[in-house]
Amino acid sequence: MVKKEPPAGGRVFSGIQPTGVPHLGNFLGALESWVALQSRYPSVLYSIVDLHSITQPQDPAQLRVRVLDMAASLLACGIDPERAVLFQQSQVSEHTELSWILGCLTSMPRLRHLPQWKMKSKQKSDGSVGLFTYPVLQAADILLYQSSLVPVGEDQVQHLELAQDLARIFNNRYGELFPEPRALLSCTRKVKSLRDPSAKMSKSDPQTMATINITDSPDDIALKIRRAVTDFTSEVTFDPESRPGVSNLVTIHAAAALISVEEAVLQARGLDTGAYKTLVSEAVIQRLTPIREEIHRLRSDRAHLEAVLARGTCRARDLAAPVLKEVRQRVGLC
């Protein structure tokens, strides 16, 4: 039997691709909640999922740098490697072996129905096999640690449903082993592009003024918010349907200042949108300055970042190895 059972309070797993330094939307939409989960659950794992990133062409040297940049960013945002297992996915080979086994339990029609394959394969008519099957690897990431809780955005729910399906298929065929993971849907507010408030803030946005990176200087933050799209009404109100640009600023202000939307609108009373942008800038700068400074400090100590990831890898392997051993025995591979 598996030597290490998941803790009674639930095990949390989530992953993030090494896209370099996160942006404000990543921080307010996901990473803040990751930090909070460390105190709420007895076992938490956060993986820098570099295997997922190579479904698209990557420069090898740049990828190595981005893994360390993401590690520095997570630590600076408050991920504590003493309370959470922070590790690099590709350094735990059990992920790929379990992915192969689960892939043999997955049908091609099931994967074709996943929304991200539909979207990305339309963008590229010759989408790779890795792009097609990476949801199976996502499922393996989760099930390998017998995770019961997965913080996800709404756009990832269908991929989590695949993990649930595969847990049921495996358990029915080979005996109970994997809990069916549940979604921890983020209740944080979604940050939109500063240039197109109908779209999410994104690192891949070609408009440099659209996205605030958490390492942006105070001057850059102020400039980007000053140029944010609003409308011709000077009063600040929160109405995402009819005033998406102004409402996005209110969302950012509230989240950065750790206040409610109602309180943010109250603070904006008597200000036009131009003056309000200054207030939003001040809140964002105050929130991000210590994070930016800590990222710069950590980036200068590559050996420390590598050591943190190496320790996390050892801890992840300790959890993964007995689960994969049990899987191999049940399917007849050993």
Summarize pLDDT for 218-266 with one digit per residue, the tens: 999 999 999 999 999 999 999 999 999 999 999 999 999 999 999 999 9
Q: How confident is the model at residue 3 (pLDDT cuts 50, 70, 90)?
A: very low
Q: Does residue 277 carry a catalytic annotation?
A: no
Q: Three-class SS of residue 291?
A: helix
Tokens linked to 269:
């009373």
Q: Which residues of 157-186 are buried (b: 16+ CB within 10 A; e: fewer)?
A: eebbbbbbebbeebeeebeebbbebebbeb
Assigned superfamily of 11-190+302-331: HUPs (3.40.50.620)
Is residue 187's pLDDT more than 90? no
Q: Is 47 helix (H, G, I), strand (E, B) or coil?
A: strand
Q: Which residues pair with 200 in a beta bridge?
A: 192
> So what's the pLDDT on residue 159?
78
The predicted model gives 75-89 an average pLDDT of 98
Burial label, 277 (beta-carbon count in 10 A; 0-12, 13-18, 19+)? buried
At 138 the pLDDT is: 95
Tell me which of 4, 190, 203, 325 is the catalytic residue. 203
Is the pTM above the cut of 0.95? no
Q: What is the pLDDT of residue 131?
A: 87
Token pair, residue 23, equals 């942006």
Q: Is 120 one of the annotated active-site residues of the chain? A: yes
- Which of 3, 4, 118, 120 is flagged as catalytic? 120
In terms of Cα–Cα distance, which of 235, 216, 233, 232 is closest to 224?
216
Average pLDDT, the chain: 93
Share of the chain above pLDDT 90, in %: 82
Whether 200 sits among the annotated catalytic residues: the reply is yes
pLDDT score recorded for residue 123: 59
Nearest-CA neighbor of 144 among 68, 278, 51?
A: 51
Average pLDDT over residues 66-72: 97
Residues 4, 190, 200, 325: which is the catalytic one? 200
Question: Domain residues of the chain, as ranges?
Answer: 11-190+302-331, 208-296
Q: How sure is the predictor about 2, in pLDDT bands with cuts at 50, 70 and 90?
A: very low
Q: Which of 7-11, 157-161, 197-201, 218-222 has the lowest mean pLDDT?
A: 7-11
Residue 122 pLDDT level (bands cut at 50, 70, 90): low
Q: What is the DSSP letter of 7?
A: P
What CA–CA distances, in Å, run from 120 to 127, 135, 200, 220, 330?
Answer: 7, 13, 17, 32, 35
Let me know: does 83 contact 312? Beta carbons within 8 Å.
Answer: no
CA 62 vs CA 23, 39, 59: distances in Å: 18, 33, 5
- The per-residue pLDDT for range 257-299, each reduced to its tens digit, is 999 999 999 999 999 999 999 999 999 999 999 999 999 999 9
Residue type, 307: A
The pLDDT value recorded for residue 8 is: 64
Mean pLDDT computed over 323-329: 98
Query: What confidence category does residue 152 fall into, taking pLDDT thresholds of 50, 70 and 90?
Result: confident
DSSP 8-state symbol, 234: -
Token look-up 């896209």 returns 19
* pLDDT tops 90 at residue 158: no
Superfamily of domain 208-296: Tyrosyl-Transfer RNA Synthetase (1.10.240.10)
Annotate 182-194 with DSSP letters as a single string.
EEEE--SPPPBPS
DSSP labels for 146-212?
Answer: T--EEEE-GGGHHHHHHHHHHHHHHHHHH-S-----EEEE--SPPPBPSS-TTSB--TT-S-GGG--
**pLDDT higher than threshold 90 for residue 210:** yes
